Structure 1
Amino acid sequence: MDVIDALPLDDGAVTRLRARHGEHCTPLAFLLVRPDAVRQGLSWAILDELRREGLTPLEIGVVRPHPRQLEELYLSTQIRMAKAGQRPMWWYMPRYYELAPAVAVLLTGGPNETGAAERLTVLKGPANPAQTRPGQLRYRYRSQNMLMSIVHSSEDADSAIREACLFFGEQRVDEAISRRCPAVLDAAEIPAVPAMLPTFHQIVAATQIALLDRLQPRIECRREAVMVRTALQQAHGGDLTDPVYRRRTRALRAPWRYASPLREELSSRRDPEFVYLTWSMQMSQTAATFGDGVVGHLRNLRVDLDDWAETVLVSGWGFHSLIERTGP
């Protein structure tokens, strides 16, 4: 996308479209299927759920947002986080949106709908995965954290119009509201078959296994190390994918719980490999500042990471303590 096309939209677009379309603007909602969902092939399932909920796409398209569009889209979120004393992850947002395209959708509810955007907010669930519930999109599709959270949606009808204009332009939104006919997604660039990618907890377990294998000759408690490695491997395909975020954390900690001599040995060492294992087996006292250096640290330890794992790890460490502290 050209930089000029990504400049902030004219804030008068909402007023103009409301003046032209009146009550037809009231049932509007906007949804962005985010890159983690698109890359896992979940776009079709999410769109089907929206239709079952009585939300009809009026305009839909595959997009690769420019950083300026992302800044405008998430401006209120970043301000709200900063005021709450939370550390925004803005600097990583553009990299996250490089993982895959996103799908922008302008939706409308039924003819008597007065709160489609608000209803969609409930359907998607909270950004904190520890607070999501069965039936919500972010629960069903295993939201990773507050950055990699499956979908974004508008807060109200005015926000829906503004955000739709941000991606489609005012003229295209005007035409979509005028015709009020269902739109169909072009399948280009969208994976059709879901392929679930590793969760934050699975990736942490995989790095632990890799380091235990490398460090085994230097570990005195080798029998315990083998037991922990085996337990991590067994949990990897099941318990670490649980939709309930905190159960994933407990499953990742469990193999280390009864390995006291091994934990003490690791904690007494200051080599980077041992420091990493000591922290990652506890999964506590995390901070975004720690996450900033995780990827480079692991690469120095010759642990291979692809783009997905890198993004999940950095954002996971950045948000883990916040998720655990504020979850149920």
Structure 2
Amino acid sequence: MNMIQALNSALDVMMERDRQVLTFGEDVGFFGGVFRVTDGLQKKYGLKRCFDTPIAEGGIVGMAVGMGAYGLRPVAEIQFADYIYPGLDQIISEAARLRYRTAGEFTSPITIRSPYGGGIYGGQTHSQSPEAIFTHVAGLKTVIPSTPYDAKGLLISAIEDDDPVVFFEPKRIYNGPFDGNHSRPVTPWAKHAASEVPEGYYTVPLGKAAIAREGNDVTVLAYGTMVHVAIGAAEETGIDAEVVDLRTLWPVDIEAIEESVKKTGRCVIIHEATRTSGFGAELSALVQERCFYHLEAPIERVTGFDTPYPHSFEWNYFPGPIRVGSALRRVMEA
């Protein structure tokens, strides 16, 4: 399966297992989602469990919060991560705080899915990476998969979780080892973007990182598409890099990070979002606090630029194997 098929399978499995699971959003029902993640679900489960909504993200999230408090397990889709901002008040002020505000009387077992990042030449309004905003909010879990296998298992875990999960899906690798536009041939790093996916039920635990590539010389912390870029950079440079796929940004698996950095003594952090106040800054602080006496070189960050997101030049904006490779060489030479 590619990631789209894996996510569709996760929704199908959970809607069949649990009648309290339902999904909705803009074009989610009849059309099957703009990227076809919900394709066929309305036909199979009916209009009450897979349906379209108005273009009103605050209403979509607010409805999900109410459904969750009532006992359902809604999966709300925000069509692009760029559109999630009108729903921030509901996510931050209501969903994230409901358990605490009610002393546990109510919970918010909701999952908010959204395609994020670049890869389709969508420009400023279809390509943003706002994950750092949500890692800052107590009460939220933030998840970003990098493979179809993890995408399915993590989405099932998110749906079963009793607290709200923001689930970002890297659309650049939605269709496997191609860019989102299908216009480029298979690239060296993208060959890792496909995986075998079981048909039935399984879970991947939230809050647990994975070692995407074992190594001894430098630790690379990445998530989503950047996991594959990191692997490609390691292979192209010949540097024995250990790539840690965070999978869950918050709660982050600090034990896995600490173990890897203490082994290698070096650390490079990669993300597609802008550099300033990106999640890489938090990761850098955590590594500095916990691994300072093991570090043999300064921590490097390779990120998107602090500029408005470009349209036709997005492939220059992405951290690619060349920029990541340069960072790997710098920490090895320090």
Normalised TM-score (structure 2): 0.28
Which one has the bigger helix percentage? Answer: 1
Normalised TM-score (structure 1): 0.28
Q: Which protein has the larger Cα radius of gyration, Structure 1 or Structure 2?
A: 1
Q: Larger relative contact order (C-alpha < 8 A, sep ≥ 6)?
A: 1
